[in-house]
A and B are shown apart, each in its own frame.
Chain A
Amino acid sequence: MKDFLNIYTDPVYSFTFVCIAFFFMIKYVEVIATLKFGIGLMIGTLVMFVLCFMDPVFTKNFYITNDNVPIIYLVFLIAWTTWYALYKGIRNDKRMEEGLPPLEATPENREKVWAWPNLVYTELFAIILGTVFLIGWAVFFKAPLEEPANPTWAPNPAKAPWYFLGLQEMLVYFDPWLAGVLLPGLIVVGLIAIPYIDMNPKGNGYYTFKQRKFAIVTYLFCWLVLWNFLIIIGTVFRGPNWSFYGPFEVWDAHKVVAANNVNISEMLWINTLGVKLPSNIFIREIAGILLTLGYMVLLPVFLTKKIFNFKGAVGKVFNGGFLGKYLKSLGWARYSILIFLVLMSLTLPIKMYLRWLINLKYIVFMPEFEFNI
């Protein structure tokens, strides 16, 4: 079992697995949003927790610093809160199908209550619990303190704090100007833009799933898979030289990982046409430039309008049926921003799979301008 996990937690497999699991979570959301599943999830995560920490190698790798402890809370809280929000959403959806108001809008819950004592005592209780929790944590876990700072000797791996490890993991697939500057910037801008893009008037002030399916699925995918799962990869599955290490695998700094990644320009000119790389950089990178332009310019057109009549499942996405239907309700400005943000967030999984499937290093490689995509 441990050997199995050591092999299949490699992001190649585990990321695919998480994506598939996410698909099934959305497809069978009504099975997941039940009390039985919630209890199962709670027991399952606890058992997994105990089993993992019974293994000395896992414990040693994980406790490379006590700063990784919050990851445990994060994993549990994310699993439970996601389940809980979906549970409440589906429960409200069922009520509304029957013609009842959502639970938050029942006459009883619309009633006004006094802040004292109803709210003030809840807050007092939360403060006491929070204090007890923090003190308990502080007593049982020492704040990490390593050797004094030494600018001449870098530890291996040199990891950022855990909440930035998703971004650090992105450095495997993107250059720093994308992984460390542009994409984080777009996350912030995109988050602020959400209320100005989402014109759906439903689901304001109560839990629901079906009334806001597109918004919730998009957000959940970014939040669970692209943000938090990458943090978990960066924390648990990355060891010396940022190579992949299974959760129960001993970290060995001499582990050799074959890295023979190639650029699209090399694939085109050397591998396919069998000639030397052209000296003009724009001709050299023509394939990558066209691909990037196609992705950012042509693809939105296909996603919006029926241009070629694609058949079957492809047609569902590319004849404008998937995103194009939002054009009318959003207007051009909002719709363009939405498509831009969706395509930008999808660049991450796309680049990951290109790396894994065809060992792609860069789509556009212009070291002359440090402009590498």
Chain B
Amino acid sequence: MAKDSFAQKVAKTQVWKSIFRHGPPDNARNRAAVIAGNVFLHLHPIKLKKSGVQLGYTWCMGGLTFFVFLALAVTGILLMFYYRPTAEYAYNDVIALREHVPLGIMRELHRWGAHAMVITVWLHMFRVFMTGSYKPPREFNWGVGVILLVLTLLLSFTGYLLPWDQLAIWAITVGSNMAKATPLLGHGGPGAMLAKIGDFVMVSDKNDVRFQLLGGRFVGEAALLRFYILHCVFIPVVVSVLIAVHFWRVRKDGGISAPL
């Protein structure tokens, strides 16, 4: 009998066996076990059609989107250690992050990751459209995907305000001024001036949708706190839930699309 190699010896230790409950994935039984027995890998089916693993078909854009989302969660949490969402500290914290952290690229990773995620989501959607993958039975999951696309843009948009510099505050001013024009619900929108009881104006700049979004009549400290919570807690939680639904439905609707 040949002597065990070092790797084989390690694979026989109690520690190794306690973590990986099967042998190396070089036979059918273990290849099934490695996917089914691992909480992360079990997102995958054990076997799938060959066309579904080809990069030429999937472009890997959905997978990359998920990867970038995870990278953004990690870098975002690290940034939260340094950042205080108040008009007094926000900008200085970002400056400190830039000047006092040697080789610091966390903010860069986070910002470029956010932009990259927008692009990968768009291209994922384009690929799904061009392969007709939204067709039955995947109609519902396409809708979930569209909502995820909107949330991705909102995540990126809410994060845009946080550095509290000129770029941030004016980009958000331009964007949130749109809310002012919402029909009936924004004080500058069509029909809003019709909602009057006597002299009392029901929709004004003190209670319309823009006010709710910004917590004020302009982009100020209240808006910074709201965008911070939306960016760091609310939208990521919703996105995580919808990603779970999205992945679950990919599996339940028959895996990555292939000719019927």
- Residues of chain A at the chain B interface (Cβ within 8 Å): 65, 67, 69-70, 73-74, 77, 81-82, 85, 88-89, 101-105, 108-120, 122-123, 126-127, 130-131, 133-135, 137-139, 141-151, 153-155, 158-164, 167-168, 175-177, 179-182, 188, 191-192, 194-196, 198, 200-208, 212, 216, 219, 223, 368-372
Contacts and interface: CB of A to CB of B under 8 A. Distances in A.
In the complex, which range does the number of interface residues on chain B fall in?
35 or more
Contact of A212 (B71, B132, B146, B189): B132
B126 A101 contact: no
Contact of A112 (B50, B105, B113, B193): B50
A117 B180 CA distance: 53
Interface of B: 25, 28, 31, 34-35, 41, 44-51, 53-57, 59-60, 63-64, 67-68, 71, 87, 91, 94-95, 98, 105, 107-113, 115-116, 118-119, 122-123, 126-127, 129-136, 138-139, 142-143, 146-147, 149-150, 153, 156-157, 160, 163-171, 173-175, 177-183, 186, 188-194, 218-220, 257-260
Contacts of B169: 149-151
B34 to A, nearest CB: 5
8 contacts: A101-B259, A112-B50, A115-B47, A142-B98, A162-B115, A175-B181, A180-B178, A203-B132
B115 to A, nearest CB: 4
A181 B171 contact: no
Central interface residue in A122, A143, A150, by most chain B CB within 10 Å: A143
A70 B143 contact: no
Contacts of B109: 134-135, 138
B191 A371 contact: yes
Given A196-B139, A205-B257, A130 B68 contact: yes
A163 B118 contact: yes
Contacts of A74: 119, 122
B116 to A, nearest CB: 7
A109 B49 contact: yes
B1 to A, nearest CB: 28
B53 A148 contact: no
Given A176-B180, A177-B186, A195-B135, 7 more contacts: A108-B50, A109-B54, A122-B55, A141-B112, A142-B98, A181-B183, A195-B139
A370 B188 contact: yes
B257 A70 contact: no
B133 A204 contact: yes
B220 A145 contact: no
